[in-house]
Amino acid sequence: MTKTSDMMETNVYRPEVIVALDIGTTKVCAIAGKKNEHGKLEIIGHGKVDSEGVLRGVVSNIEKTVKAISEATSYASKSARTEFRVVQVGIAGQHIKSLQHRGILTRDNDHTEISQRDIDKLISDMYKLVLPPGDKILHVIPQEFTVDNEQGITDPIGMSGIRLEANFHIITGQITASNNIHRCVQRTGLKVANITLEPIASAASVLGREEKEAGVALVDIGGGTTDITIFEDGIIRHTAVIPFGGNVITKDIKEGCNVMTPQAEKLKVKFGSAMADEVYDNRIITIPGLKGRDPKEISEKNLARIIQARVEEILDCVVWEIRRSGYERKLIAGIVLTGGGALLNHIDKLTEFHTGISTRIGIPVEHLAHGYSEQLSSPIYATGIGLLLKGIEDYEAGKIPVDVVEETKTEEEEVQENGDKWYEQIFRKTKEWFEAEPDSEF
């Protein structure tokens, strides 16, 4: 009886189950989840595979990325016993830029209250901004509003006024990078519901409301990029992507210790420390030589020195971005480190020592329901769980009625396909006619 019910449960499409897809430089992970009756996030399935087709956060090999997405979603689908159709995807990379802009809306009537429609109109006007060729707007985030010269309003809905102004934080990215993500996901038979900037997703899963209010800088150290998001008064004030992360540390170990890349990665993960001063018992690590050659011996202290030099360089870029944002003195909650790079021993101590700002490691379990897999309580899942939270938020707000999206898109595709067939028929007939013409002469 149980087996039959299990079989029936498998491959059932459930629109309330949201699926997040984190396409990273070192891993591709798919996480499926839904909100339980207590408002907490219940993870019902996840899958993680190594990523080979992504370079510094951007898809560089379509085939390899499609294969990794397919495997990760297949694992998640099996463990969730649910069929997936639509996924929430993250975007990162060096091409991500942010800018500040001010919008003004003059209303017809000062008797009616300011509504969500007025704010939506201001936001949609921001999407008309002229950008450099090849760029598109990914997110428009309102900062503060001004109603008839009354400044510093965070929520103007319900107020009366003629002139509504707002400061916006606008995040842009390359159209090609976004298109490649869409292409990879579609080739696995899935559809992209929404593309979210990865640092915004990580912040959703790792930061508490009080931290966002107080002022905090989230630093997500991934394999290919280091993403920064700065919050103050609960609002995103600054976003930036630094084009290197954990992979450059591995590369330095490979060159400094004269070993292969897989060995360098293992050295970093198993024996690595971000602070050389914290290594007391200076053990010697022996690595087997290639093809009968003598084994290599590396001291733990020297390994830590190589790692520390590169981590300090990444932190210098982080400090520069924090200063550029103008919020250096306003980070009451300090820095929160997350991503795979946050797993390095003593990296929080080094960050505190190097920047002079209090630091903690962010683990994405704050919004999770009890009974989650221990594997998920790791900084490497910060982006995936954050994307899931964003997807649930959009679904509840009615922005993504998943089943409707599915149906309408299929109809559009059918029209497109029929159009193609009609076009192809004319093309084929014309081609046949032209090709047949010379034959008649012989």
Domains of the chain by residue range? 97-173, 246-308
Q: Which H or E element spans position 153?
A: strand 150-153
Residues near 376 by Cβ (< 8 Å), separated by ≥ 6? 31, 43, 46, 364, 365, 368, 385
CATH of domain 246-308: 3.90.640.10
- For every one of its 442 residues, what pLDDT tens digit does the chain have, with 9 covering 90 and above? 444 444 444 556 566 788 999 998 888 999 988 888 887 888 888 888 988 888 888 888 889 999 999 999 998 888 888 888 889 998 888 888 888 899 998 888 777 888 888 899 999 999 988 888 999 999 999 988 998 888 888 888 888 888 899 999 999 999 999 999 999 999 988 898 888 998 899 999 999 899 999 999 999 998 888 999 999 998 999 998 888 888 999 999 999 888 888 889 999 999 989 998 888 877 888 888 777 788 888 889 999 999 999 999 999 999 999 999 889 899 999 999 999 999 999 999 999 999 999 999 999 888 787 777 778 888 999 999 999 998 888 888 777 644 434 443 444 444 444 545 555 555 565 555 555 444 433 3
Q: What is the pLDDT of residue 6?
A: 44
**Tokens read off for 382:** 């910060």
What is the sign, positive or negative, of the torsion defined by CA atoms of 199, 201, 203, 209?
Answer: positive
Burial class (CB in 10 A: 0-12, 13-18, 19+), 413: exposed
Q: What is the pLDDT of residue 359?
A: 93
Residue pair 49/64 in contact (Cβ under 8 Å)? The answer is no
CATH class name, domain 97-173: alpha beta
Please state the pTM of the whole predicted model. Answer: 0.82
Phi, psi torsion values for 397, nearest 5 degrees: -80, -5
